[in-house]
Homo-oligomer: A and B are copies of this chain.
Amino acid sequence: MLQEILNDVGIAVFAASGALLGVRKDFDLWGILTVGALTGVGGGILRDVLLGITPPTSVQHWLPITITLAASLIVFTFHPTFAQLRRSVLILDAVGMGLFATSGAGIAIDHDTSAFAASIVGLLTAVGGGILRDVLANEIPLLLQPADLYAVPALLGATIVGICGTYTTVPVWFWLIIGTVVATALRLVSLVFGWRLPTAPPGRRGHHARA
């Protein structure tokens, strides 16, 4: 029950981040609702397509998309307020990321994937919505740009669930909690301290080969 509520909070926060980008790009109401909805449920749909769950949960049931529309409408109406809420939004987003990563890995395990696959699916569940948001808004995904750690905590949380949930006899729900806490905490700590990954060493830029 708690996990479902937190998952819905994650969907709402992701949707709000998509709707905010839509507002900044001067989309109309429909565009804002669309990019909000796709950001909120995109990661879960990608997860389900990779696992062969059809139709995807977020398409089959009305609640997830309804949550994204409500969150997007709130952003549409009150978006100037969100500038002051930046800190709260970042915290909620970190929680949402952690929940998506671990629940994605847990659902993969339920579908008898390998531990490796569970980790990858969990990662893609956490970052898929944000990638879709940025591709639709015609921007290079934030995920690929030099920035605070985001995908690394997601991968860590998903891997904890994937490996420990597969190879230990401890119930999966225990690893869901551990993974979520670790991922969320690492994300928040990296924000506070401004941790970053290195960029490529300078030098003559390699020629871009066609592929």
User: Once the chains bind, are A80 and B206 in contact (CB under 8 Å)?
Assistant: yes
Most chain B beta-carbon contacts within 10 A, residue among A14, A120, A121, A208: A208
Known contacts: A17-B210, A146-B31. The answer to whether A55 contacts B86 by CB under 8 A is no
When all copies of this chain in the complex are counted, the total is 3
> Smallest CB–CB gap between A85 and chain B, Å?
8
Chain B hits for A203, CB < 8 A? 79-80
Known contacts: A197-B28, A197-B30. The answer to whether A16 contacts B205 by CB under 8 A is no
Per the bound structure, the CA–CA distance linking A49 and B59 in Å amounts to: 12
Q: Does A165 make an interface contact (CB < 8 A)?
A: no
Chain B hits for A138, CB < 8 A? 138-140
Q: Does A185 make an interface contact (CB < 8 A)?
A: no
> Smallest CB–CB gap between A54 and chain B, Å?
3
Lowest 9 CB-CB distances: which A-B pairs, in order?
A52-B54, A17-B211, A31-B144, A82-B206, A79-B206, A80-B203, A28-B146, A89-B209, A29-B197
Chain A contact residues: helix, strand, loop or mixed: helix
Chain A interface category by residue count: 35 or more
Known contacts: A54-B51, A79-B205, A206-B79. The answer to whether A27 contacts B144 by CB under 8 A is yes
> Smallest CB–CB gap between A130 and chain B, Å?
5
Per the bound structure, the CA–CA distance linking A34 and B62 in Å amounts to: 32
User: Once the chains bind, are B60 and A55 in contact (CB under 8 Å)?
Assistant: no
